Chains A and B, each alone.
Chain A
Amino acid sequence: MNGDRDTIGITDLLAAFGRALFLQASWSFEQMQTAGFAYAIEPVLKKLYPDPAEYENRVKLHSEYFNTQPYFASFILGAAIRLEQDRATGRNAAADVSGFKAAMMAPLGALGDSFFWGALKPMAAVAAVAVAMDGSWWAPVLFLVLFNIWHLGLRLGMLFWGYTSGGDAVALMARYRFTKMARRFKVISLAMLGGILGMMQLWRVEFRPPLSSQPVALSLSGFFITLVLVAIMRRGGSPVKFMLGLAVFCLALAYAGVI
């Protein structure tokens, strides 16, 4: 009956990882990632609970509301697999998988959003745009490599860490120092953004604004225009409004005969 209960191996974890790539395939406002999480863990439950009634109960438990940052979901998935295994084998029959998921998803979601969307992605984007402005064709490759080395490494690493640690989130934070890394990525992005402005004379000709023919003056003009834009943007507004505002401003300059 419980012949497979101790045999959650690397292939099961990799299969769960593969399914977790589809975590948001049926994302909805009401259920969010619930169906995706249940889909990712379902084969493991089938293996751990050969009794149909027990299997059904466990699937029902994982059909409860779930939503977190999609990459950090790997940690919760790995830990949930471990807790289910401990429960099925009787090592920890009282393992509260549902409570663990509910406790973890909000803080890890906030941390993941801040690290992946708020720090890593902008850093990769700024580096790639800087290279693209310079006229290099390999900017998209640079972006994908910079982002996915971290993304895939951490996503896979967190699944195994979640499994081996049984969901020790404190150890996860101590191991990866996400907050510190996020701050570093943000500062590197800011310095590279300054670098983009300082290299304006090297921009592709299509992007080089007709502000000055003297390279240093061109960069200084771009730098100060950006500072003014940042100050304006602090008052609020969406990217669409800023783009439309810029178009109207350019049109006004054209009609005024400035350009």
Chain B
Amino acid sequence: MPAFDMHIILKILGIAFAGGVIGLDRTAVGQFMISQPIVVGPLTGWMLGEPAAGIIVGAALELIWVLDMPVGTFVPADATIGTVSATAIAALGAPYGATLPLIGFSILLSTAMVTMTMKAEGAVRTWNSRFSEKALSISGPHTGSALFRAQCAGIALFFLKSFVLYCIFIPLGIAATGLYRHLPSAFPRALSLFVKLLPLVGVALVVRKLTVKSFDQYVLAGFATAVLFGQLMHVPGVVVLLLTAAVGLIGVRYSERRS
């Protein structure tokens, strides 16, 4: 079991603080999407000296959660807490660097946290109504400062929720990596494959939400373009990506003109 020395505790508190601040971007402040897995994963990994683990976790979870939308009163899963926790557990739970099976194990742990993050978010939003109701009931010249206090209280509550959850999840996850080492040898093999297949699940989830067709012509056109230019003509990956985007745009404009 990894030792919880002062160095590790400080790192956990630092990540919990940074994660709490970045998490405000999800709902409370700005919504510039800094809190998205593809951003916050590499950022956490970089802060903990494991940028590769951060990119793997962020890229794997981005497509999984990108279309979990905050519509109406629906509270989506907190992908930010999941990504930061998974990256931190993978980085801090491995004394000699985060391995692929350990990253898979951390991602699975973060999946188990989803229900708790949604409940905590729901509790914050319920509690927030007290602040806003109080502010909106105040009349007279102090209305402005009452509204300001309600906004500040809401931000503090959103931050505290994330901070406390990180302080619970990350140490528990690091402790769980001690158990992970005693698992049968089939587990690391399975967890490696889990990480390798996760992007396919992410792609399928996004395709399912973006189109009603199971076999979409634009997915096929992008695929054929990538195989042709990327594999047969060895064009660099970024150029292939631009070409697939161009094929999509040309296709949709053609379809618009026909209709």
Q: What distance in Å separates the Cβ of B198 from its nearest Cβ neighbour in chain A?
A: 7
- Asked if B168 is an interface residue, CB under 8 A from chain A, the answer is no
A59-96 interface (Cβ within 8 A of B): 59-60, 63, 67, 70-71
How many Å lie between the Cα of A40 and that of B191 in the bound state?
Answer: 48
- Asked if A48 is an interface residue, CB under 8 A from chain B, the answer is no
- A191–B219 contact, CB under 8 A? yes
B-binding segment of A1-9, A167-175, A247-255: A247-255
Determine the residue in chain A with the shortest Cβ distance to B223.
A194
Q: What distance in Å separates the Cβ of B24 from its nearest Cβ neighbour in chain A?
A: 8
Bitwise, B129-161 to A at CB < 8 A (1) or not (0) is 101110110011101100110111111001000
With A46-B144, A223-B223 as contacts: A126 and B133 at CB distance below 8 Å: no
Counting residue pairs across A and B whose Cβ atoms lie within 8 Å, the total is 361
- A193–B151 contact, CB under 8 A? no
With A26-B153, A31-B132 as contacts: A191 and B221 at CB distance below 8 Å: yes
Determine the residue in chain B with the shortest Cβ distance to A231.
B214
Chain B residues with CB under 8 A of A46: 144
With A22-B28, A25-B154, A129-B59 as contacts: A216 and B248 at CB distance below 8 Å: no
Chain A residues with CB under 8 A of B63: 125-126, 129
In this complex, the interface size class of chain B, counting residues with CB under 8 Å from chain A, is 35 or more
Q: Which of B58, B141, B191 contacts A132 (CB 8 A)?
A: B58
- A230–B214 contact, CB under 8 A? yes
- Asked if B3 is an interface residue, CB under 8 A from chain A, the answer is no
Chain B residues with CB under 8 A of A189: 206, 210, 248
How many Å lie between the Cα of A35 and that of B221 in the bound state?
Answer: 47
How many Å lie between the Cα of A197 and that of B223 in the bound state?
Answer: 6
Determine the residue in chain A with the shortest Cβ distance to B128.
A28
- Asked if B55 is an interface residue, CB under 8 A from chain A, the answer is yes
Q: What distance in Å separates the Cβ of B113 from its nearest Cβ neighbour in chain A?
A: 10
- B39–A140 contact, CB under 8 A? yes
Determine the residue in chain B with the shortest Cβ distance to A110.
B71
Determine the residue in chain A with the shortest Cβ distance to B31.
A70
- A35–B151 contact, CB under 8 A? yes
Determine the residue in chain A with the shortest Cβ distance to B69.
A117
- A28–B125 contact, CB under 8 A? yes
- B222–A195 contact, CB under 8 A? yes
How many Å lie between the Cα of A54 and that of B78 in the bound state?
Answer: 42
With A128-B38, A140-B39 as contacts: A190 and B126 at CB distance below 8 Å: no
Q: Which of B32, B70, B147 contacts A35 (CB 8 A)?
A: B147
Determine the residue in chain A with the shortest Cβ distance to B210.
A186
Chain B residues with CB under 8 A of A190: 207, 210-211, 216, 218-219, 222, 248
Most chain B beta carbons < 10 A, residue from A30, A194, A223, A250:
A194
- A129–B62 contact, CB under 8 A? yes
With A39-B151, A254-B193 as contacts: A226 and B207 at CB distance below 8 Å: yes
Determine the residue in chain A with the shortest Cβ distance to B43.
A140
- B244–A194 contact, CB under 8 A? yes
- B241–A127 contact, CB under 8 A? yes
With A190-B210, A240-B114 as contacts: A247 and B203 at CB distance below 8 Å: no
Determine the residue in chain B with the shortest Cβ distance to A228.
B204
- Asked if B10 is an interface residue, CB under 8 A from chain A, the answer is no
Determine the residue in chain B with the shortest Cβ distance to A203.
B199
Chain A residues with CB under 8 A of B202: 129
Bitwise, B16-31 to A at CB < 8 A (1) or not (0) is 0000000000011111
- A250–B210 contact, CB under 8 A? no
How many Å lie between the Cα of A31 and that of B155 in the bound state?
Answer: 16
Given pairs A190-B211, A191-B244, 8 additional interface contacts (CB within 8 A): A26-B154, A29-B126, A125-B36, A126-B206, A188-B249, A193-B206, A209-B196, A250-B190
Interface residues of A (CB under 8 A from B): 21-22, 24-31, 34-36, 38-39, 42-43, 46, 52, 56, 59-60, 63, 67, 70-71, 113, 117-118, 121-122, 124-134, 136-137, 139-140, 143-144, 147-148, 151-152, 180, 183-184, 186-199, 201-204, 206-210, 215-216, 219, 222-223, 225-227, 229-231, 233-234, 239-240, 242-244, 246-247, 250-251, 253-255, 259
Between-chain CB contacts (< 8 Å), 17 pairs: A29-B125, A34-B136, A35-B147, A38-B136, A59-B139, A59-B143, A117-B71, A126-B206, A140-B38, A144-B33, A188-B245, A190-B207, A195-B223, A199-B230, A229-B201, A246-B197, A250-B190
